[in-house]
């Protein structure tokens, strides 16, 4: 798998962030700034050619680290498909439905096990997606049948902009079995441009033009 370093990731995002700030992206984008170190090490140490990778609305770093070209991802982002990055050859799938990939990941892992494949499934999700019921079902299947799938919770202590302590009393978190791992990172960007001064300007422009059309 092609090695992507920290600078590659950061430079890519800076470029996308500048498109956003310039008002060239009239849709939400989810940046992963602050989440470079763990991901780089994790991909290098665990993921091999032919493995399946499932990602989320926040998928650009996963896609780059999976070997999908920055040009392809940029093109998708510019076309409004930031949350819909797929690559058949790389076996890379995303879903913007929270935890939407988790049961698919379990199904693929089932097939890999039946085939006796050496490949595995790596399924990333956020700490907000972790609270979705269908994630529980996927975990039960993977752990119960010892399927070759690992769920990786990327815990930035946010579901959109709500911290865990504001979502559940005392910030309760499930104790998942060993097919689920969790790591924490501090995001440097707001959820999807929320709070960005330029985005607020953009929304105002849009609202005005919508009003004019009525």
Ligand X SMILES: Cc1ncc(C[n+]2csc(CCOP(=O)(O)OP(=O)(O)O)c2C)c(N)n1
- Taking the complex as a whole, the smallest distance from the CB of residue 181 to Mg ion amounts, in Å, to 15
Task: Verify binding: residue 102, ligand X, rule CB under 6 A.
Answer: no
Task: Verify binding: residue 36, Mg ion, rule CB under 5 A.
Answer: no
Contact pattern for ligand X over residues 29 through 68, marking x by CB under 6 A? -x--------------------------xx----------
Task: Verify binding: residue 156, ligand X, rule CB under 6 A.
Answer: yes
- Token output for 23: 């008002």
- Taking the complex as a whole, the smallest distance from the CB of residue 132 to ligand X amounts, in Å, to 6
- Taking the complex as a whole, the smallest distance from the CB of residue 123 to ligand X amounts, in Å, to 13
- Taking the complex as a whole, the smallest distance from the CB of residue 209 to ligand X amounts, in Å, to 26
Strands 149-155, 180-184: pairing is: parallel
Closer by beta carbon to ligand X, 59 or else 66: 59
- Work out what residue 98 binds among Mg ion, ligand X, none; the CB cut-off runs from 5 to 8 Å by kind: ligand X
Measured CA angle at 35 (ends 164, 40), to 5 deg:
135
Query: Which residues 169-208 are close enough to bind ligand X by CB under 6 A?
Result: 191
Task: Verify binding: residue 120, ligand X, rule CB under 6 A.
Answer: no
Task: Verify binding: residue 97, ligand X, rule CB under 6 A.
Answer: yes
Q: SS in 3 state form for 107-153?
A: HHHHHHHHHCCCCCEEEEEECCHHHCHHHHHHHHHHHHCCCCEEEEE
Contact pattern for Mg ion over residues 110 through 139, marking x by CB under 5 A? ----------------xxx-----------
> Helix 6-21 to helix 37-46 angle, to the nearest 10 degrees?
130
Whether 147 and 141 have beta carbons less than 8 Å apart is answered as yes
CA distances (Å), origin 171, targets 138, 141, 180, 187:
23, 26, 18, 18
C-alpha span between 195 and 199 (Å, rounded): 7
Whether 49 and 1 have beta carbons less than 8 Å apart is answered as yes
Task: Verify binding: residue 158, ligand X, rule CB under 6 A.
Answer: yes
**Contacts to ligand X by CB under 6 A:** 30, 57-58, 96-98, 126-129, 154, 156, 158-160, 191
């Amino acid at each position: 798998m092609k090695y992507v370093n920290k600078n590659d990731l950061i430079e890519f995002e800076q470029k996308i962030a500048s498109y956003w700030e310039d008002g060239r992206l009239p849709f939400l984008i989810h940046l992963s700034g602050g989440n470079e170190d763990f991901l780089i090490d994790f991909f290098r140490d665990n993921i091999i050619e032919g493995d399946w990778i499932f990602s989320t609305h926040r998928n650009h770093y996963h896609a780059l680290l999976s070997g999908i070209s920055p040009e392809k991802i940029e093109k998708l982002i510019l076309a409004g498909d930031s949350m819909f990055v797929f690559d058949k050859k790389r076996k890379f799938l995303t879903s913007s439905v929270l935890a939407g990939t988790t049961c698919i990941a379990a199904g693929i892992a089932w097939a890999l096990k039946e085939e006796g494949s050496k490949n595995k499934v790596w399924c990333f999700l956020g700490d907000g997606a972790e609270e979705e019921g269908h994630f529980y079902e996927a975990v039960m299947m993977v752990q119960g049948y010892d399927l070759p799938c690992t769920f990786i919770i990327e815990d930035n202590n946010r579901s959109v902009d709500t911290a865990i302590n504001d979502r559940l009393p005392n910030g309760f978190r499930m104790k998942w079995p060993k097919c689920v791992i969790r790591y924490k990172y501090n995001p440097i960007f707001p959820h999807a441009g929320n709070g960005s001064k330029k985005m607020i300007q953009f929304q105002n422009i849009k609202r005005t033009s919508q009003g004019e059309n009525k």
